[in-house]
Amino acid sequence: MSKDYYKILGVEKNASTDDIKKAFKKSAMQHHPDRPGGNEAKFKEINEAYQVLSDTEKRQRYDQFGSEFEQQGGFGQGAGANWGGFSGGDFGDFGDIFGEFFGGQGRHTGPARGQDIQVDVEIDFKQAAFGIEKEISLRKQNKCDVCSGSGGEPGSKIDTCSTCKGQGQVTQTQRTFLGAMQTVVACSDCHGSGKKPSKKCKHCGGMGVVNSASTIKVKIPGGIDNGQSIRLDNQGEAAPHGGRNGSLYVRVRVKPLDGFIREGYDVYTEEEISYPQAVLGDKIEVQTLDEKVKLLVPEGVESGQLIRIKGKGIQHLERNSRGDHYVKIKIRVPKKISKEVRKKLEELKNEL
């Protein structure tokens, strides 16, 4: 009797490869025999369906002939004949699932890495444009200053771990649906270092780390934008038992600058001019990020027109250049005018 592999995985017949993969992972996690409520027979059936539907050629044959497609020729063995050895499927997918089943055991055999941490730092608009060095104060897990992170009392002897014989790792055997599976994990006795102090440090209790205040200098590059982060390797939490430090992520918050708007590496400001200046043109003084400059307003400029000041914008992050400063012109129209001015405007109106 032909099996409905699509129904077994809970997908439609037009399901994509990604949909099939997601459905397989979900069902495999649910029915794995080593999990509560797992079902080995159901797990084998799910795997059999995935072996076929994840393979384009096998899927085409299955759609044409059903689950007995191997009897039609072209395949030397059944769809599920070698499921235990992953002969027809994506071994990488199973590796991901095993990582979830067994908590990633076997992938890491040395001392654990320290935690990554994140701090926020606030800078002003101009500091973000040109860069600045900031000093950050925080409390975090640091190497013990008494034992220098070794976990041993100063002067005590460091012995080879008797559990792992100095290897830092041990082999464990676990029962799986494939039978006995061996995994290599970090030694829990020496935490992957292969060595143990004869006496534990009294200051840190043998952990090699203590919680203490830290002051860290960080160079914030010119051109950084609001919400962007800088990663400082080895400046995060120290790892117990001599592991590698985590990373420190410094997230930048940029305070706005009144009158300045940033778009990429360009800045925009607005300047008001009178109607005569718009008609006749003029030179006006404009405040840029670093200095005041004279800007030539051309004759006949229109309200809303942008005039570019080249190279007066934000410092580029990856090259030694700057964006531009754009000045938006706004023509000022007076609400009240004298009779004399009105008369002149009427004359000008008739002339134009």
Between the two ends of the chain, the Cα-to-Cα distance in Å is: 93
Predicted local distance difference test score (pLDDT) of residue 264: 94
Q: Does 46 carry a binding-site annotation? A: no
Measuring CA to CA, how many Å separate 310 from each of 131, 283, 321? Answer: 20, 17, 11
Tokens of 230: 């800088």
Structural contact between residues 313 and 261, judged by C-beta atoms closer than 8 angstroms: no
Predicted local distance difference test score (pLDDT) of residue 82: 36
CATH number of 5-101: 1.10.287.110
Q: Look at residue 177 and tell me whether its pLDDT is greater than 80.
A: no
Q: Look at residue 96 and tell me whether its pLDDT is greater than 60.
A: no
Residue 104's pLDDT band (boundaries 50, 70, 90)?
very low
Tokens of 61: 């044959």
> pLDDT tens across 199-244, in order?
989 999 888 899 999 999 999 999 999 999 999 999 999 988 888 8
Element of type H or E holding 65:
helix 56-65
Predicted local distance difference test score (pLDDT) of residue 136: 94
Measuring CA to CA, how many Å separate 267 from each of 264, 275, 312, 323? Answer: 8, 25, 8, 8
Predicted local distance difference test score (pLDDT) of residue 105: 41
pTM of the model: 0.59
Structural contact between residues 20 and 53, judged by C-beta atoms closer than 8 angstroms: yes
> How many angstroms separate the CA atoms of 194 and 110, rounded?
9
> Where does the chain hold its CATH 2.10.230.10 domain(s)?
117-254
- Please give the CATH superfamily to which domain 117-254 belongs: Heat shock protein DnaJ, cysteine-rich domain (2.10.230.10)
Q: Is 148 left (phi over 0), alpha (psi -120 to 50) or beta?
A: left
The residue type of 37 is G
Q: Does 190 carry a binding-site annotation? A: yes
Mean pLDDT of the chain: 83
Which DSSP string do the residues of 113-155 spell out, in sequence order? PPPPEEEEEEE-HHHHHHEEEEEEEEEEEEE-TTTTTS-BPTT
> pLDDT tens across 27-49, in order?
888 887 666 677 888 888 888 88
> Where does the chain hold its CATH 2.60.260.20 domain(s)?
261-351
Residue 343's pLDDT band (boundaries 50, 70, 90)?
confident
182: helix, coil or strand?
strand
Q: Does 124 carry a binding-site annotation? A: no
> pLDDT tens across 265-319, in order?
999 999 999 988 998 999 999 999 999 999 999 999 999 999 999 999 999 988 8
In words, the CATH class of domain 261-351 is: mainly beta
| pLDDT: which is higher, 257 or 38 | 257
Q: Does 71 carry a binding-site annotation? A: no
Of all residues in the chain, the percent with pLDDT exceeding 70 is: 84
Of all residues in the chain, the percent with pLDDT exceeding 90 is: 43
Q: Look at residue 78 and tell me whether its pLDDT is greater than 50.
A: no
The residue type of 240 is P
Q: Does 144 carry a binding-site annotation? A: yes
Structural contact between residues 233 and 251, judged by C-beta atoms closer than 8 angstroms: no
Q: Does 164 carry a binding-site annotation? A: yes
Tokens of 129: 């444009």
Q: Which residues contact 336 (CB under 8 A, 6 or more apart)?
A: none
> How many angstroms separate the CA atoms of 211 and 110, rounded?
23
Structural contact between residues 221 and 131, judged by C-beta atoms closer than 8 angstroms: yes
Look at 111-120, 176-185, 308-317 and tell me which has the smallest mean pLDDT. 176-185
CA 329 to centroid of chain Cα atoms? 41
Q: Does 173 carry a binding-site annotation? A: no
> Where does the chain hold its CATH 1.10.287.110 domain(s)?
5-101
Q: Does 187 carry a binding-site annotation? A: yes
